[in-house]
Amino acid sequence: MPDPLSFSLAGKVIIQFGGTGLLGRALVDALGAAGATLIVASRNREALETLAASEQARGRTVHVDEVDIGSEESLQALRDRVLAEHGRVDGIVFNAVSRPMKGYSADLDQWRESMDVNATGFFATVRTFGDTMADKGSGSIVNIASQMGTIGMNPWLYEGTSMSASPDYFFHKGGMINLTRYLASHYGEMNVRVNVVSPGGIYNPDQPQADAFLERYGKMTMLGRMADAPEIGGSVVFLLSDASTYITGANLAIDGGYTAK
Ligand SMILES: NC(=O)c1ccc[n+]([C@@H]2O[C@H](COP(=O)([O-])OP(=O)(O)OC[C@H]3O[C@@H](n4cnc5c(N)ncnc54)[C@H](O)[C@@H]3O)[C@@H](O)[C@H]2O)c1
């Protein structure tokens, strides 16, 4: 019987898709600290190896593997390797995103390329690993969406900066949020929970956003600022842990009150 007061991921085999970006690195830190046996999978093995080495040096159980989310064969091969090596999958975090579309007027091929990973690849991933966890009789899927999956584009935020927001992102993040509800319903009686978190904008200390953007963005939130990447991890750990065994189909906003204001 799972302990509903346990936030620990000790003993749980978790696969995180996408781990080298701003949020991905913070999630690796959070899941590793919570005790998960973590397999981080994305396309760039070299960057992943560096990440895993620094996590292992801190005593974390972090492995890396390579996957192309745009290929079902690649996903199935990853599943087979993880089952052969670890014997089970207890949870996945879908954190990967592809950003090929450069602006509203971009060629439609960029939209199609985005959908290959962010729509088709996303579904192929959750189906491959959802079915694997359903066979075992338990599991948790956490999808990383964005507040942009719920609200429209606000051009005022970007005025006078080189920043912009691409339309494909609003489409596939919105789709991710509602597909999460479908998946939660599909897998519910198989004891596989499916939830989504919707972070607000994350401050990038390595390449800070324009000052004008930061000031306007802060005013749109209740807390007066962007998120720091480590602030997202606790919610993902919670949704993977036994502390959330009765939560499924939920969309958890982690946006400093942006979408509630
Ligand atoms: N950065 C933000 O402000 C912000 C805000 C809200 C939500 N998010 C979401 O958080 C998640 C991570 O964001 P990030 O800024 O760290 O992203 P990022 O672009 O820095 O990293 C994305 C990751 O996805 C992986 N990836 C892309 N295509 C892939 C493919 N075909 N196969 C396998 N892996 C692939 C990349 O290798 C990388 O590890 C995304 O879902 C993003 O939409 C980010």
Q: What is the model's pLDDT at position 261? A: 96
Whether 4 is covered by a domain: the verdict is no
Whether 218 is covered by a domain: the verdict is yes
**For residue 51, what is the domain's CATH number?**
3.40.50.720
> What length is written for the chain?
261
Q: What is the model's pLDDT at position 246? A: 98
pTM of the predicted model, to two decimals? 0.98
Pocket test for ligand 1, best of 20, 22, 23 (most atoms within 8 A of CB): 23
Whether 2 is covered by a domain: the verdict is no
Nearest to 249 by CA among 149, 177, 166, 147: 177
Whether 206 is covered by a domain: the verdict is yes
Ligand 1 residue neighbourhood (C-beta within 6 Å): 18-24, 42-44, 67-70, 95-99, 117, 144, 146, 199, 201-202
Q: What is the model's pLDDT at position 211? A: 97
Q: Find the 3 Cα to ligand 1 centroid distance in Å.
A: 32
Whether 6 is covered by a domain: the verdict is no
Q: Find the 1 Cα to ligand 1 centroid distance in Å.
A: 35
Q: What residue's CA is closest to ligand 1, atom 18?
A: 21
Count of structural domains, the chain? 1
Q: Find the 24 Cα to ligand 1 centroid distance in Å.
A: 7
Whether 261 is covered by a domain: the verdict is no
Q: Find the 239 Cα to ligand 1 centroid distance in Å.
A: 19
Q: Which domain holds residue 217?
A: 13-254
- Whether residue 34 contacts residue 242, with contact meaning beta carbons closer than 8 Å, is answered with no
Q: What is the model's pLDDT at position 1? A: 82
Q: Determine the longest span between alpha carbons in the chain, in angstroms.
A: 56
**Catalytic residue from among 169, 187, 217, 258:** 169
Q: Is 169 a catalytic residue?
A: yes
Whether 1 is covered by a domain: the verdict is no
Whether 187 is covered by a domain: the verdict is yes
DSSP 91: E
Q: Which atom of ligand 1 is nearest to the CA of 23?
A: 16
Count the Cβ atoms, other than its own, within 10 Å of residue 116: 16
In order along its 261 residues, the chain shows pLDDT tens digits of 889 999 999 999 999 999 999 999 999 999 999 999 999 999 988 999 999 999 999 999 999 999 999 999 999 999 999 999 999 999 999 999 999 999 999 999 999 999 999 999 999 999 999 999 999 999 999 999 999 999 999 999 999 999 999 999 999 999 999 999 999 999 999 999 999 999 999 999 999 999 999 999 999 999 999 999 999 999 999 999 999 999 999 999 999 999 999
181-220 burial, b at 16+ Cβ within 10 Å, e below that, comes to bebbebbeebebbbbbbbbbbbeeeeeebeeebbebbeeb
Q: What is the model's pLDDT at position 44? A: 87
Q: Which atom of ligand 1 is nearest to the CA of 70?
A: 31
* Residues facing 13 on adjacent strands: 37
Q: Report the number of secondary-structure helices (H) and strands (E) in the chain.
A: 8, 7
